[in-house]
Structure formats: structure tokens, C-alpha cells
Amino acid sequence: MSHVFVWMGLLALTLLHCGSAFKVVCYFTNWSQYRETTGRFTPENIDPSLCSHIIYAFAKIEDNVIANSEWNDATMYKKINSLKSRNPSLKTLLSVGGYGVGTAPFRRITRSPFYRSEFVISVVQFLQQHNFDGLDLSWHGAEQSDKERLSDLVKDLSAAFNNEGMQKFILSVSVPAGKEAIDKGYDIKTISEYVDFLNAMTYDFHGYWEDNSHPYTGHGSPLQKGHADSGSASAYNVDYAVHFLKTEGAPLQKIVMAIPTHGRTFTLSSAQTVVAAPASGPGTPGAFTKKAGTLAYYEICSFNHGATKRWIEEQSVPYSYKGNQWVGYEDTRSVQIKARYVKSNHLGGVNIWSLDQDDFSGSFCNEGKYPLLGAIKMELDKRE
């Protein structure tokens, strides 16, 4: 009997030590170092106790091999990996690709087995050289002609990462949340078989896009379908995306669901202020992120002084408006609801896009440092 008590005690200590069984995958962006004053974000601003994984975004592809994209990446790699001394269970991954890269570099490295092999070998050497634990493959905008190429690349990376006698690396793939994008370029069932987890990009369902195809307000990361959503818009929500990935063959425990720390903004074109109100363009750029159509959470906190705040009950997310500006965003209430969704649906965890857009300094929202990430982790760590 004493052995049973000892075993139970060891199990309890193990659970306490490990914390949540769910992944908290935190994206670090190497361009946020260029923001001004209190918006500037570097590895020194990261609290490694809040993340199970940190993904460094992004490396690029150059001459068919993986390469740095910023002049000081190598120095920042060291700083990111030094965070393991403060959280020994922390895993670090390097993401290659991203929004700005497009499909051309990936098409070049997958045009034959030889070029795939050249790229894969360079990845293994690069990860070893810079002490990363794995790779996140971020091939955005894959087309029908890319579908098999992407799957073959994932298979080759997996084989190299699990080669007997070699250091084993973690492999994740970032996949879109939109049904049309998945149908077009991503063989989810095959990819899922060869990766450790999928980073589902469950955000930016709505926004004022450059092609003027969305001239009305809408939340970027609604949990459920809204009453006004019909046709293809019925798929523009987190719940639909998660279940579609499952239907396509992704095991639930491999789906790591994104929770954004930015909001999507619009400039209103009438006196209407509700969801689906007419919009004439993206919202005004933020003081720090300086990009029309989006605001970091800490910028939203500043915007909300004097703004009218509303809660979308059926979608479990907030929005606010002031003058002709409208923003849909996440707050501590909505991210806790999403974290509970992850738990109740037995998903693999959450990924945070991105660390630099939370109120990392605690200077803006009067909620302490990392209010969104902290609320997510607290909810995931709760024992049911």
C-alpha cells in the first residue's frame, strides 16, 4: 500500500511540475524589434513561464536552403534559446516562410526530390547549429498544384527529423482556417500523419481586405457563426474551422488553435456601428504597429478610452467603436472562453499570434503584464 501512496505522490508532483497538458505555442516576430519606444519587443520581454513552445518567425528560403531573414537573427536565436534556462521544459522552433514570402520559394525547393533533399539537409544543420528543437513550416497560399509538393516536403522533413541515431526534432505546420484555402492547397490528412502538431490560423476571418471584398465590419476571430452569416460566411468562425480540420483528417489532439492578440479594424461609412455595418476602408493605423486595418491589444486598450464597448453574445467576442473607427478584438473574457473550448474539445492546445501584440509591458491595459496570454494559461492550467 505504501508503494501506491508513493506512486500517487510522484504522479501528483509530476503533474504539478508539468503544469497544463495543453500546448501554449507562442510566436515571436523578428520585426517587432523595430517598433518605437514601449512598442519595441525583443526576447528580453518574453516571460518563458507562460509558454510551452516558442516559435521564432520567420526564417526565409534563399538559394534552396534555409537562411536568416534579419541582420541580427543569429543573436536573437541565442537569446530565445537562453530562455530554456528559466523554463527547462520550454521547446523552441524556427518558422520558415510566412505571409510575406509567398509560394515561389517553396515551389522552387519542391520541384524535384533533389531540391527537397537539399533544403531538408540545410534545415537539419541549421536547427542543430542554432540549438532549436524543431521547425514550423509556414507555406501560405498553397494552390492545387502545390498540394502534393507540400505533402512530400512534410514527409521528407519528418523522415529526417526522426532518423534513427540522429537528434529528433519537432515538426509543426501552419495551416489556414478557411475552408476554401484548405481545399485548394492542403492535404490535411496526409500532413497530420507526419507532424507533431498543426498550428491552425483561426483568425482574420473578417477584415477590410485590399481587394475591397469585405466592405462591412466583422470580427476577426469569432468563436461561433453569427446570425447574419450565410453562404461561405457560415465558415468564417473558429468552431467551423476546427471541426472542418477534424473532418479532413486532423486528430483533435494535433490541432493547436490560434488565439490572436491583435484586432481587425474598419472605418465606418455610415452611422451604423453594429456587426456588418458598412465600412469604407481599414481602420486607422496604430501608434506603434503602424498598419491600417489592425491594432495590437495594447493599442486597443488605449483606443477604448472613451469608446463604446459591446459584446457579441452569439460569438463570444467583444468589439468597440469611437467616431468612425470600429475594432473587433479579444479580451481576457473571450480568450478564457476560447481556452475552455480547447479543453472541452480535447484539442492539442493554443498558439498565440503573437507575443508582441499582447500588453507585454503591462503599461496600457491596467491588467498586468501579458493579460491575454496569462488568462489563457490560467484557464488551461485549471484542473477540472
Q: Is the pLDDT of residue 11 over 50?
A: no
Instruction: State the average pLDDT over residues 361-372.
Output: 99
Q: Is the pLDDT of residue 18 over 60?
A: no
Diameter over CA atoms, the chain = 73
Question: What integer pLDDT is reported at residue 19 of this predicted model?
Answer: 55
Q: Can you say how many angstroms the Cα of residue 267 is from the centroid of all Cα atoms in its chain?
A: 26
| Dihedral Cα 314, 320, 326, 328, nearest 10 deg | -50
Q: pLDDT tens-digit profile of 275-316?
A: 999 999 999 999 999 999 999 999 999 999 999 999 999 999
Q: pLDDT tens-digit profile of 240-279?
A: 999 999 999 999 999 999 999 999 999 999 999 999 999 9
Closest CA to 288 of 279, 296, 280: 296
Question: What integer pLDDT is reported at residue 371 of this predicted model?
Answer: 99
Q: Give the integer Cα–Cα distance in Å for 49 and 55.
A: 15
Percentage of the residues of the chain whose pLDDT score is greater than 70? 95
Type and span of the H or E element at 339 = helix 332-344
Q: How confident is the model at residue 17 (pLDDT cuts 50, 70, 90)?
A: very low
Question: What integer pLDDT is reported at residue 50 of this predicted model?
Answer: 99
Question: What integer pLDDT is reported at residue 86 of this predicted model?
Answer: 98
Q: pLDDT tens-digit profile of 254-263?
A: 999 999 999 9
Residue type, 257: M
- Mean pLDDT over all residues of the chain? 95
Q: How would CATH label the architecture of 19-261+333-381? A: Alpha-Beta Barrel (3.20)
Q: Is the pLDDT of residue 167 over 80?
A: yes
Q: Is the pLDDT of residue 332 over 50?
A: yes
Is residue 15 within 8 Å of 52, Cβ to Cβ? Answer: no
Q: Give the integer Cα–Cα distance in Å for 310 and 347.
A: 29
State the residue for C-alpha cell 508532483: 13
Q: How confident is the model at residue 341 (pLDDT cuts 50, 70, 90)?
A: very high
pTM of the predicted model as reported, rounded to 2 decimal places: 0.94
Is residue 150 within 8 Å of 139, Cβ to Cβ? Answer: yes
Q: Is the pLDDT of residue 318 over 60?
A: yes
Percentage of the residues of the chain whose pLDDT score is greater than 90? 89
Question: What integer pLDDT is reported at residue 165 of this predicted model?
Answer: 78
Is residue 251 within 8 Å of 191, Cβ to Cβ? Answer: no
Lookup: cell for 382 = 485549471
Question: What integer pLDDT is reported at residue 331 of this predicted model?
Answer: 99
